[in-house]
């Protein structure tokens, strides 16, 4: 059996404007430059962001404020699933796919509810692992919960840290939703829509092995 492990933000759900707005509001509360804070937040985890942009502040207070703003955004923000996401997820048997996210499960469920996407049985979120991406731990945890071997798993990602996480886990990694391929991916698709038939083919047949042996492209 073949399995598919999906990143969420930037892969299945377009949340860039939401993330920018949340971090912008957070920055204003602390009297910081919103653009600079967002640039740092894009490449670091929240606690690392606080250490860089608000070192004199209590990081627990900073995190509590961020969580408050993110939860409010899930309730009132505007979200859109990427083209092809609904078709793809509804075509996959529930037992063969999972979500692996650096966010928290309750927010993912809220976003999926807002966008009408089906929710899988397995969600590995920030609270489920001590080491986040680019560590292989999140993807290995998802595979274990599905009862899957890493070599039978396909990772769908949009970000360098997620790609590295999947590669270090020993999985096939395909990149989506970017004009330029992330370094290391075995295959690259400009959009999720373009990848849909290939993902379904990976799950249903041996073509995935051929794709992996071909390298990036």
User: Could you read off the pLDDT of 97-132 as tens digits, one per residue?
Assistant: 999 998 889 999 999 999 999 999 999 998 899 898
User: Residue 135, exposed/middle/buried by CB under 10 A (0-12, 13-18, 19+)?
Assistant: middle
Could you tell me the two tokens for 44? Answer: 């670091």
Q: Determine what percent of the chain is predicted with pLDDT higher than 70.
A: 94
Query: How many CB atoms sit inside 10 A of residue 127's CB?
Result: 10
Q: Which residue has the higher pLDDT, 16 or 27?
A: 27
3 state DSSP class of 122: strand
Active site residue 158: no
What pLDDT, in 10s, does the model give residues 21-61?
A: 999 999 999 999 999 999 999 877 788 899 999 999 999 99
Could you tell me the two tokens for 81? Answer: 């699933």
CA distances 106 to 101, 113, 119, Å, are 11, 10, 11
Asked whether the beta carbons of 169 and 198 are under 8 A apart, the reply is: no
Distance CA 108, CA 215 (A): 31
Query: What does pLDDT average to over the chain?
Result: 92
In terms of Cα–Cα distance, which of 85, 79, 98 is closest to 4? 98
Active site residue 211: no
What pLDDT, in 10s, does the model give residues 63-94?
A: 999 999 999 999 998 889 999 999 999 999 99
Catalytic residue among 9, 14, 73, 158: 9
User: What pLDDT score was predicted for residue 212?
Assistant: 45
User: Taking phi first (over 0 means left), then psi (-120 to 50 degrees means alpha), and beta for anything else, what does residue 184 get?
Assistant: left
Q: Phi then psi for 74, rounded to 5 degrees?
A: -60, -35
């Amino acid at each position: 059996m073949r399995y598919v492990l999906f990143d969420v933000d930037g892969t299945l759900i377009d949340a860039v404007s939401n993330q920018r707005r949340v971090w912008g509001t957070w920055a204003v509360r602390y009297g910081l430059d919103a653009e600079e804070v967002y640039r740092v937040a894009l490449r670091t985890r929240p606690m690392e962001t606080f250490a860089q942009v608000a070192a004199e502040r209590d990081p627990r207070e900073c995190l509590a404020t961020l969580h408050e703003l993110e939860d409010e955004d899930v309730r009132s923000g505007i979200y859109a699933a990427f083209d092809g996401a609904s078709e793809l997820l509804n075509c996959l048997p529930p037992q063969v796919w999972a979500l692996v996210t650096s966010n928290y499960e309750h927010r993912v469920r809220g976003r999926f509810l807002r966008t009408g996407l089906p929710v899988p049985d397995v969600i590995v979120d920030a609270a489920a692992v001590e080491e986040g991406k680019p560590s292989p731990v999140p993807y290995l945890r998802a595979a274990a919960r599905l009862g899957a071997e890493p070599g039978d798993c396909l990772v769908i990602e949009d970000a360098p840290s997620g790609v590295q996480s999947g590669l270090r886990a020993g999985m096939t990694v395909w990149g989506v939703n970017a004009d330029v391929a992330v370094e290391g991916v075995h295959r690259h698709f400009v959009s999720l829509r373009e990848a849909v038939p290939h993902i379904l083919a990976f799950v249903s047949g041996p073509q995935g092995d051929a794709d992996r042996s071909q390298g990036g492209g």
